[in-house]
Every structure is written in structure tokens, then in C-alpha cells.
Structure 1
Amino acid sequence: MNCEEVKEKINIRTVLESFNLFPVKENRKTAFYFALDREEKIPSLLVDFVKNKAFDFGTGKSYDVISIVQQMNQCSVSEALKYLVKFDFSVQNEFQNEKTKQKKEYKILNVCEIQHPALTQYLKFRKVYGQKDLVKEIEYELNGKKYFGIGFFNNSRGVEIRNKYSKICLGKKDVTLIKNELNVSNEIIIFEGFFDYLTYKNLEKKGNSNSDYLILNSTAMLFKVEETLKKYDKISLFLDNDKNGNATKKAILKKYENVEDCSLIYRGFKDLNEWFCSKEDL
């Protein structure tokens, strides 16, 4: 691919995640990150996921995926293109050669059951309050400031943090694999984020829990479970209806047999949770 194709086709979120950079504040189209070139307490880098570009309000500098790699690796355009080759329609191999860089200084202060009214309200807003026992309330300190959020741990004891205003990961990014405790399962159900997993558990019939569950926590983590997925006779996909979700779906369909794409259930919606929240009778 040439430079213009790279800027258009390679997802900016995935590139940022390859450097272990995650949003501090996020909505469906944009997010604020901490700056790429300096330490700061208030995030100033606005990332537009639709335009696939970023803008630093502190310096006035604009970024695309190539210049992000140049900034992070202090390299030339040609070296940045070599780095980005692994993101070209090969979601399953995205992180195999990466050198992650931990930028956030954090400390987890307390882990407990969900108690804070704001977190309770947010779970109810997302219609998953009934699954509150599957997540934790996390109090943490990030770059010298204290925060709290809904926490979901991954296999490396990193924790995905969510609240109304923030979407970040503390610690090492990884998948969350939840094994069936009663029986050896031949089916695995895959989600991108833990809110879709909580939504599915809401919908799942009581007693019908014979499957294992895999929450990717990022589509870029798929490479971590390539061998694991070969052990299952059936793979059910509840991935997002967006560029990353579709690319991940294609990669799985190409590599494995007996894969069912369940995204048709929530066609017209970004993900399972968004669809579920739109249903007044559910």
C-alpha cells in the first residue's frame, strides 16, 4: 500500500493500542488521549475515529497513523510504513512484533463490589445492572489524580475501566477467557468488550451456560488466542458492526471452521449492548 492507502485503511485506534495507548475519555466517534510527546495530567490529544486522524490541542499538531508511528518510534516514513505492514488486513497478527510502551503511571487503591451510585446508575443505563456481580468497583490513581470506575479483569490481571466518561486499561492489555466451570465446552462465544458479554448473560437462558466465553477487550488481541480457538468445535461471534469488528470477523471466518456470525441479530446497531438498550421490552 502507498502512504495515502495506509492513512485511510489502517485503523488509528489499533495503531495507538499497539503502543499501549488507550482513551481517557471517549464517545462513539471521538476520544481524548494523553499527548504522544509529553507527560500531562489533562488529555489534549483528540482522536477522530471517523476521519482516522488526531489533533493535539497543546501543540496544534495533526497526526495520521504514519506520523503517530514516527512520533512514537522516532523513525522515518519508510520505517513507519514497515511497522504498519502488520496491520494490513491481518488482524490476527497485529501485535506479534510490537514493542509496547507503558506511558501511564497508575496505582489501584481499592477493589470492591459495585457500590457507588454513579456506577450503579451507569450499569442501569447500559441495562446490565443484573450482572453487577461479574464486574468490580475500582478506585485508582492515574498520573497523580484519583478516579473510580467499573472494572473487568483480563487474563494478565490488567483491568478494563469504564464509567460514563472514561474508557481505559490499567496494566497489561489482554483477553479475558472465561471457562465453563461445570463441563468441558465445545463452543466458545466471542465478544469485543465486556459490556456485550454482560448483555449476553442478561439474555442467556437460566441454566444454559455450557459455553466458554472470550472477551477480546480489543480486536488487536486476537493473535493471543489463535491456538486456543482451534480446540473448539463451534465459534460464535458477537463482534461490533464496524471496521475493526468486520475485519476481525473475516479473519476468524477465514481461519476456522464452524464459525457463526451472530451480528445479524443486532444489524443496524454498533454492538449487542447498543441494540439491547434500544429495546423497551427487554
Structure 2
Amino acid sequence: MKNCKQVNSWELLEVLISLGHLPKKQNEKEAWFLNPFGTETEASFKLDKRQNIWYLYSEGVGGNNIDFLKKYFNYSINEILSWASEKSFSSFHQQTEIVKPNYSITEVAVIQNWNLKKYLFERGLTQRSFKFLKEIKFTINNKKLYAVGFENLSGGWELRNSFYKGSLLKKDISVIKNDSDRIVVFEGFFDALSYIEFQEKLKEDILILNSISMLNKAKNYLQNYSEILLFLDNDPAGKKTKDELLSSFSNAVDYSFMYKDYKDFNEFLVADKGGFIQQDETGQSHCFILPLRGNN
């Protein structure tokens, strides 16, 4: 496991970009971002590239990488180090020159690439979910990549393939509307699509956080619903988010007990059902339906 010194040595610019936050303006000394912890229209988050420290003028807080990750994820130090153990970023102290990254989306299309389809099938999804996704072709520092894309309310994209996890453009929540007064809340879009695959007919609205840093924006959105169903991850960050929503909304109900032995709803789906859409000898499909209140 990495230690705090190693995490603080990472180039924070690279960390921010990996989380889907691109600078609004920058030069060789500093970079300015929209508030990565909330919603703003003016860039008030300053990154000092030479010292590798940040300051958020709208809240009067700042610090090093550990300080940023604690606030961004609402993690403890141990949780940060656990998260960091799976990541690899450039060391700030080894950087002699910081080059402005070149990010661009070159194509947005229906999913056709077989590798992406295979990846989705391996995550337990079927063609039924494809209408909520796009095939995104993009470049990072002139390297051509492609991934499954899930759009958020600000036109940004959550990107996934078998070897890449990231986001491009502005970070935000995503919502699937179904004109309901009930809403189901997930952290990631794979969990949300897994839920949809379970339903013969989707009756609720769905909110996807895409990052727990979007919790405050999600709270504002959830105020209009009579019932809030929580399907959050069974890890420390997910449990903290669940507790925050339960304390904020008397009409919120926790459903994480349904997959208590798994990290998240998608993992439960893959392990428990191995595909969850089963076919009998005649080729007829049968869907498993979650026993939620109000679905009958």
C-alpha cells in the first residue's frame, strides 16, 4: 500500500484530469478549475503547479493531494491509501516541465465495437442497456482511445472499457427520467443499468452520482421526490454517502441489504445471476424482478 508521502508526490494536475476535471485556463505556473467539490460557473479552484498545492477561493480551503482526496471522496487516510494503491500517477518531483494535455472527443456513436460489447456482456449487461450508452472515440495526448460512454447532465461523459476508467468534460450527476415521483440512487452507471435489466418495465426515475463529490447537487435534485431508494456501494465511501442521504431525507430507504455480500449492485448481479437474463429451452427470455415496494 502507498503512503501519504508517495500520494502527495503525485502531480495533482494529472489526478484532477483522471477524475474528469479539466482546467479552464492555465499557464506554466498555475491552473484554474471549476470547483471539483460542487457546482460553480466561475473557476475558483487554483492549482499551483510549481508547489503542487491547491486552494479553493470560494470556500477558503486548500492543501496538498491528501487534503484534496479527503475532501473530494470524504475518505479517511486509510481509505485514501487503499484507493491510491490501485492508481499510478506521475511523480510531481520528477516533473521538469508540465505540458498541457491534449484531450478531445472525435466521435460519439451507437455501440458497434465488438470489444466494447464483450466488455458490457462481461459486466452482466445486455442489448437492453445499450440505448443508454454511446461509443466514444477520443484522444489523450494524441493517443487514440475508445470506450463506453454514459452522459451526465452537463454533457460530460463517464468512460469505461476493460482497461480504462475516467471521464471527460464537466463532472455532474446523470438522470434517467421516467416521470415518476420515486427515484433510485446509484453511485455508478453500471449499477444503474444493472437495476434496469432486472425490471420488466422501469417505473422509477434513476439518479447516478458518478462521483460522491456530486452529493450536494444530488441532494438538491432529490428534494422533488416522494420516495428515494438507495442502492449505494457497500464500501466506506458508499456507506458514508448512504448515511448522509438517510439523515437528510426522511423518505429515503436503504436497499443495500439486498447485495450485502458484494461491493456494489453490479457485482452482485454478475455473481448471483451470471447474466440475470435467462433463456429456457424454447429461447424465451425470463427477467428477474426486484421485490420493491410500489412495483406491483
Alignment TM-score, normalising by the size of structure 2: 0.63
1:187 to 150, 174, 182: 182
Partner of 1:216: 209
Relative distance call for 1:238 and 1:143 in structure 2 (3 A) is same
Partner of 1:149: 147
1:122 to 102, 119, 125: 119
Conservation of the 8 A alpha-carbon contact between 1:89 and 1:247 = no
Partner of 1:71: 52
Partner of 1:44: none
* AA matched with 2:18: F
2:234 to 222, 241, 244: 241
Superimposed CA distance per residue, residues 121-148 of structure 1 (whole angstroms, 9 cap, x where no aligned partner): 1011011123112101111011111000
Q: Distance in 2 between matches of 1:274 and 1:173?
A: 24
> How far did residue 243 of structure 1 move?
1.1
Q: Does 1:87 pair with 2:71?
A: yes
Partner of 2:135: 137
Superimposed CA distance per residue, residues 10-33 of structure 1 (whole angstroms, 9 cap, x where no aligned partner): x99xxx79x734269xxxxxxxxx
Partner of 1:175: 173
> How far did residue 89 of structure 1 move?
9.5
* AA matched with 2:141: N
Q: Does 1:105 pair with 2:98?
A: no
The number of aligned residues is 209
Alignment TM-score, normalising by the size of structure 1: 0.65
Between the two proteins, what is the percent identity of the paired residues? 37
Superimposed CA distance per residue, residues 192-229 of structure 1 (whole angstroms, 9 cap, x where no aligned partner): 0100011001101x23x231110110111111122221
Superimposed CA distance per residue, residues 80-129 of structure 1 (whole angstroms, 9 cap, x where no aligned partner): 28x669839979xxxxxxxxxxx753111111111111101101101112
Runs of at least 5 residues in structure 1 that lack an aligned partner in the other structure = 1-6, 25-37, 39-67, 92-102
Q: Which runs of 4+ in 1 moved over 4 A?
A: 83-86, 88-91
Alignment root-mean-square deviation, CA: 3.4
* AA matched with 1:72: I
Runs of at least 5 residues in structure 2 that lack an aligned partner in the other structure = 21-27, 29-48, 76-99, 277-296
For residues 21-100 of structure 1, the aligned pairs below 5 Å read 21-22=17-18, 71-73=52-54, 80=63, 87=71
Conservation of the 8 A alpha-carbon contact between 1:23 and 1:166 = no
Q: Does 1:262 pair with 2:243?
A: no
Partner of 2:293: none
Q: Distance in 2 between matches of 1:242 and 1:267?
A: 10
